[in-house]
Structure 1
Amino acid sequence: MRLKTLVLAASAAALSVLGACGDQPTAPAAAADQAAEQRSAPTSIIDPTTGEAVATNYNPAGTVVVIPGTSALARLGAQPLAYCTPYEPCEPCGFDQPCEPECDPNDPNGGCYTPPPPPCSSLITNYTEYRAGVEPYSFLEVSGTTSSSCGFLVVTGLGARINGSDDYTTLALRGRRVNADGSWGATVDYRFGSSPNHSLEAFGEVPSGYAVTGVAIGQSGTEDVRTIVLYYRQVQLTSAGVRMVGPTYTARFGASPYNYTDASYITYNDNQVFVGAGFRSIDAGEKTATMAAFVGTLP
């Protein structure tokens, strides 16, 4: 395993590359009202002892679901990580899967009561997978969705980490359920990868009331996730149902938030929103060569 390389591109050169980078998502010509990018300071620091980037803006929120996997399986071309599915839900009792019986230890008759599960009211029951990167159809080293026993949650946050062998080992997804009346349910944090509980090198989250409609990621020629870009839109109840409305906003995160990115995917459809993602890094050029975007459809 090689030590982390500390490669810092000059900001002027990085911005020049960013402007010329062909894989950057661009809005359709008709989207003239697209909002200006929201500028912010770096959200990750470089650990001087390890040379690894560490996200300083990540704190677990709500229920935390850990789905461990092995990158060895990924290198063999198999699905690398376990998914939450309606048949194998991730949530603990009380979120939206049936609960275990509750027993009163003071009841001499051993009285037990099994609370009924809350009704399923998921809007998103399916998704489409889109690929990006210089090797878009290769295997994934980390991969996950916000699936549950009651459909999919919308993605509101995303983070990741790469180890010193150029393998993604950690993926974090923050999801939140959107109800049919446009209201929001509880927040759930999903952790995937061969090291699902490792610290993140970069993490980003969108404001409350908004959901992720695009993701771009970059390594800046290092073995770290240095740049995460989240594209997001407001979620609102309309005459057509719950939809993504208004302009697409942009927020940047990581140790080098304004550097170029290696792979990206964005949707401008009003009835589409991210419900998961997957990535793979390569040594040649120290870049994220493979990206999967799991995009859910609102009814």
Structure 2
Amino acid sequence: MNKTGVYFDHAATSQVRPLAAEQLMQKLQLVGNPAALHRAGQRARAQLEEAREQLADAMGAQPAEVIFTSGGSESDSLAVLGGWGASGRPRCLVSAIEHPAVLGAVERGAEVLPVTSAGVVAADAAAGLIDERTGLVSVQLVNNETGIIQPIDDLRRLAHASGAWFHTDAVQAVGNIPVSFRDSGVDMMTISAHKLGGPVGIGALIARKEIEPHPIGLGGGQERKVRSGTATVALAASFAAAAAEAVEDLAREAERLRALQRRIVERLQGFGARANTVEADHAPHIVNATFPGLRAGDLLFLLDQRDVYASVGSACRAGVHQPSEVLLAMGRSDDEAA
């Protein structure tokens, strides 16, 4: 809480950490294209690679596995569309509760993995859908609306048993639950800076070195020939600093958030709300609740009038409120999801 109100929308974007802001301002003074061969360019390249190493270390990955992008949406698109295309197989499976950058692949022929009423991808249903024709399976680690943790270990094993690649969107996981690319065993992982105290405009796709997603755009292929565009050194350095600090502070911050989450859930349930978040294993930083007979948009307006800033569903829908696709996938009615 501060003099401008109470901000409860960190799942949408979070305040830039002081260390990340400091790195951003320092590196903005650096002149030189990191792809250039002159000394100024090479100095920029050295700073870019230092950021890549720091981010890789925080994520339990190798520097060569880190592909910088413009954010989570681009990383998801590269993994799903690029990975599916590179797999050489006709089928792609994504869960029903994914970020639109993943779920949008359904419009291009991807198929949907259903979830239970608790918002967990149904592993038994997935086992019946994943086969040798499946090239890619994508399931997020933590849902961006409910905070529910998905069983990616089981789903990854199912995908790999059929020879499919497995991608997870870990945007809502980093800094909130332990995340290690190496230990996860996944083939590709999406992360984003502005959800963990870094700047808007940069993210990363972490991909095993032997995985080569098809590019989805044209250009010079500066990032492992997968993603094109001049790298922004300042954003990369700020991102890496934020990620390193978020991982270092994880245990303490998760304990603080878990205690706050319990208090909020108890109060909401006291008001008659259904706390959807606590119906399955969940991360500590998100509370999703529905109130019988009350439209979420109306409640949001009342909160905003009192300088309490929360969200109705996902923030990635261009500011247009509509029934939550996540809650609908969980079997809630249109009224409950609205």
TM-score, normalised relative to structure 1: 0.30
Q: Is the helix fraction higher in 1 or 2?
A: 2
